[in-house]
Structure 1
Amino acid sequence: MRHNTCLFRHTVVVLLLSVAACGEKTATGENDSPQRSRSVPVAAAPLSYQNLTTRLEAVGTSEALKSISLFPEAAGEVVAVHFKPGDFVKRGDTLLELESRDQELALELASVRLEETRRLFDRYDRANRSVDLTVPETTVDTARTALETARIERDLAQVALERRFINAPFSGHVGITDVEVGDRVDTTSVITTLDDRSALQVTFDAPESFVGQLAVNDPVDVTTWRDSESTVQGEVIEVDSRINPVSRAFRVRARVPNEGDELRPGMSFRVALLLDRGRFPAVSEVAVQWGANGAFVWVAEDDKARRVPVRLVERVDGSILVEGNLAQGDMVIGEGVQSMREGIALRVIDARAVARDARDAPETRSES
């Protein structure tokens, strides 16, 4: 039905152009001057612009916003485990304790020594301020050095004690652990994993033809394979600076919110982006002609024909998006291009009015 309607409209345009040509020939007459150029009837429509968007689809793999494996900073025996797999922990929460009696005693001893050296230094300092007794400067300097050394030893003992406790460096969910109370661990033993999955980072590959079209903050639609009806919108946060010479693609990373905690790191997703490629002139398919130098269209300018070379961009919904020396409102010739040559006089028929008549004609016949 649609094909028949389009054919009918084309036939109406051709008939109108033929009638217009015959009428002009009769009006001109045989006695007209040979120098008088005949005007060619054509159907033209004002040039319009249309946005071009491209849909990019890819498969992405997710990872947590922050994700680490926890290792102890010191070796020792596990005396307490304060978490279960899957627990949500806050930053600073103690997850595991190692036996720390030696470190506690070392800290206590360092504190005692610090206090002793501080008292000695204060005694010398007060003596130097008195007129009755003066302590040599070398003795005061030695006491000051001993005080600073004792303070550093106390701080080192404090650090050694803190290393017996493994704390969460950020808030997140802990994973499975194989460590139990009584186990002996060292600095190469994995205690557990910690993931901040308040948001996920989805990494996917984009073809090299899209270089320059993807930018940070571009919206991204992410859909899980288990539920094609549920789509989450994220945004691009990183675009790689290199093209993989094997796959001819570059990596893109998007951030996706996970407020309901339904998504997990490691899941794969269907990723879709609508890329705005710009705004281009849109002409009808019949308006595009081909010559030795490529494609071109005819434009009616001051009732004369002007040939404009164009480059085809893409075919969209019955129209062709082009690039060329065209401006908004230019009258692009669609019917009658077979008789065109540069500078020929034209009599323009509004193609939009013809199209409206063609649409109304079948209705009129059906009513009659």
Structure 2
Amino acid sequence: MSFTVRVSLLVTIAALAGCNSKDNDKAAVVHPQCTLGQTEQNFVCVDVPLTATSISPTVLTQNQKTKITLVGTNLPSTAMFALQDGICEAAIEKTATSVSQWCTANSLGSKTVTAKYKIDIDTGKVDFTLTVNPKIYVKGLLNDTGIIGCANDTTVFTDCSAANLGGWFGLNQDGQLGRDVQAATGQLSKIGGGDAGFDFTKISATGQSLPTNATEWSCVQDNHTGLMWEVKTDDGGLRDKDNVYTWYNTDATTNGGFEGYANNGNNTQAFVVAVNAQALCGYKDWYLPDVEDLRSIVNYGRTSVIDARYFPDAYRESYWSSSPDVYSNDNAWIFNTPAANEGRGPKGYALSVRLVRFGT
């Protein structure tokens, strides 16, 4: 019995000693700390692709906010996706089989949508491809007036209900029809922002769509009319808000019979040429708006008729239009911003200019 015990102790001691022997002189293997989107295989972290199978839609319109849905299986609650050369907002719908986000594509062509376990983790990401096409605008669409109130013979109401209007209800007043009413009742889908039925998107100097809370932008896209507007600067440069110009147009087919005043190059025509040479917001087809164009961004339901959140320089009193006066070729039409009306004035007046273009 004592012999058996002695052997067991020797074996145990030898085994312990072997931990320090040359035959076992190996570093201990450390279990890896894998991140989300990885799994451990043989003490190595290996990426596990997200179980995402498709996205829809696969065709987007440039500068138009679109709901994109990622479909898969066992998607984690942190799953998100990012759009190449675009902006995606926080997820609005999440389940184990789908994730939806509002995204805006800023440029045309084939773009990659990258689905991730988490927006700041690249392990296990999966890529999908979609196509971005230009938006096709229909020229001639009009904005609504911005008026959402109604009136009877004695009172103006903010609520156009039958209880307020009585016998005046149902007469198709301005405040009962159009985009403004749809917006007020939550029935109008917008790409951007703006009061009532107006739908504006801020555009960067290079032509990219920006979020509504952007603090720097160079143009404004009207998502309903298709008109893109110049936004003035406050830097003393070419497009400074305080610059004024005489009316000048050398095209005899559109100048009403008198070209106006060149004013040593400080005129409307020269300004259009200079802005196009700089490719404002990526475009070279800017022009002097006609009086109807200028009227299109006026909100007649507000005291400040131009939305300063998009047009912070709109305090200027009068803007030139491209429309000549048919009664006197020395005059052209002017839009007066504070009064929200138009009138005629001599082409030699020095007035403000806001350029416009159509489309994207």
TM-score in terms of structure 1 length: 0.19
Structure with bigger strand share is 1
Structure of larger gyration radius: 1
- Structure of higher RCO (CA pairs closer than 8 Å, 6+ residues apart): 1
Structure with bigger helix share is 1
